[in-house]
Structures are given as structure tokens and as C-alpha cells.
Amino acid sequence: MSTWPEVDDPAVIFTGPSPRGWHRLQQAAECLQRYAWSYENGPKEDISKKPPLAIGSLIHLALAQWYSRMKQEQEGKNPNEFMDPVEAVRLVAQVQGNEKHVANVVETFHNYRKRYWQDLNNRRIVAVEVLYDGTLDPGPMEALAGEKSYRLTGRLDLMYEDLGGRLIASDHKTTGRLTKRHKEYFAVSGQMLGYAHIVRQKHPDLASFEINLIQHAGQGDTKFERIFLPRRPALEAQFVARARDIEKSIELMQAEMAAGKRKVDEWPKVMSELGCYHRYGACDHIDKCMYGADAKKGGSWSWAD
């Protein structure tokens, strides 16, 4: 049993999105109209109760609490400064109204801890859920032309040193079904490229980027796999320039709106079945694109008509 004293108000870590992360750029790259509905049309819709996001967020919380307590223990400090992972999950789920996911998340976390209990001895935890604030700087010719830098942020799930002293950045990814193709998927992820870019701005000695894959208990058995992303020289070399291209396309549409030349429902639309539908179903804004800015979810017809 732990000999550390209890703490009256233990910390619960915020594991939410960063203020200016890759997600907004990804939306714009996929469909500028989707970006406009999400970011140029009043307050953003609360999507925290959608099952994939709710489950993933609570698993992230459990791991953040566990690794924070582990870091304290490695440094000879009181791990009880951070709330017990299961207690934190139950508390936050209650606040969010996501209690129905607690059993799944707790089972997943317990199985994860059994699988990776040696992390305490095999890893020196450097940072947990740290916000990195980086820049997308102009190239030499752009800088001469007076172009500005853009801000890019990311909340990194975990940073650790392995037994060889190599610095590793790790991102937790939860899924209902773990497949062999995940390494290929994440190798082209702008989010992962962005994380690596802004982390290396602060830690040039970053050795590798790890994806910590977690299949949660909602589909039956839990599964876990850790993969290291390969270097992608072409994508890495172009990442900043292409991300800046997306920022510029957003600014162009915003300027036209400000000048009265374009309404919020008149941004360029992808208009593709592959773009308007994704693995979780239809885009949240599909009805507004089909029937107008005031359309409600569900539209005015169904396939049964």
C-alpha cells in the first residue's frame, strides 16, 4: 500500500483540444464550407457527448492521471497530488453527463495498466498533456514579401525517455476496432505531422513519434499496440508550406465575407459522397448545405420517401 499522504484537492488534468490545433486546418482542407459552418457561424456545437469522442476523452483522462502519478513517483513526489484515474473518470463523466461510458472506460484502463505496468521502470516520464505552442513560419521569399507566421498548437499526450535515453513523443489513439492499417493511416496524418513539427521546434533532439493504439472494451475485447511512425521526408518537408496554404485560403474567404461578397453558406463545398460522409456517418452540416443555412438536422426528406 502507498505510504504517501492523501491530498484534500487532488488535480484532475485537462485533456481537451488545444486553442489553435490541426483540426480546424483539416476541416478547411477537406471542405471549406464545413470549416465555415464550424468556425464562422456563431458558437461551435457541443460534440462532447458523441460516443467516440466521449469514450476517447475519458480514456485520455485516465491515462493522463496514471502517467502524472507515475511521474510524481519517479521524481520522489506524492502521486496523490493527482486524483486516482478511476475516480477522475467517474467525476468528469458525471459532470459531462457521460456516465454510461464509465464501465467501458474503466475496464479498458484496467486492462491497459495490466498490459503496460512496466512503464514505471521502462520509461522516464518527461511531460503529460503539455500544450505546445508553435509557429508556421514563412519561407525566405515569403518573409521578404512581408508574409506573417501562423500559430499552430497541440496538446501532446505524453513525452518520455526510453531506457536508452531517447526522447519519445506519444499520442494516444482510441478506436472501437484496431486494424493493421492504422500505421498507414497515421503516417499521412496532418495532426501527427503538426505535432512533430511544433515539438521539434522546442525539442530538436526528439528521436521518434509513437502512436499508442487502444481498442476500448465497447466492442468486446480490449487490444493495445504501440507503433513508431516512419519518417516521411516529402510530407515533412512540405508540411509548413501546405499548412500555410490552408491558412491563406481561410483568410481569403474571410476577407470576402467581410467585404460582403460571400455569405457563410457560400464557401467552397467538396460536394462528394466521400467527403460529405465519413466513418461515423454524414457530416454534421450536410442538411444546411442541402436545404439552406436554417435547415435542421435530419432535413426535409428521408430515403424512405
Counting residues of the chain whose pLDDT is more than 90, the rounded percentage is 82
The C-alpha cell that represents 196 in the structure block: 512533430
Query: Is pLDDT at 302 greater than 60 in this prediction?
Result: no
H helices present in the chain, as ranges? 22-30, 32-39, 51-74, 85-96, 102-115, 119-122, 140-144, 182-187, 190-202, 233-258, 273-276, 286-291
Query: Is pLDDT at 106 greater than 50 in this prediction?
Result: yes
What pLDDT, in 10s, does the model give residues 204-237? Answer: 999 999 999 999 988 779 999 999 999 999 999 9
298 pLDDT band, cuts 50/70/90, is: low
Query: Is pLDDT at 304 greater than 50 in this prediction?
Result: no
Is-above-0.75 flag for pTM?
yes
Residue 301 pLDDT = 45
Average pLDDT, the chain: 92
What residues contact 130, with CB distance under 8 A and at least 6 apart? Answer: 155, 156, 159
Mean pLDDT calculated for residue range 138-164: 96
Least confident of 11-25, 47-61, 185-199: 47-61
Mean pLDDT calculated for residue range 241-263: 97
Mean pLDDT calculated for residue range 83-104: 96
The C-alpha cell that represents 296 in the structure block: 435542421
Tell me the pairing of strands 281-282 and 277-278: antiparallel
Mean pLDDT calculated for residue range 123-149: 96
Residue 209 pLDDT = 95
* 292 DSSP assignment: -
16 pLDDT band, cuts 50/70/90, is: confident
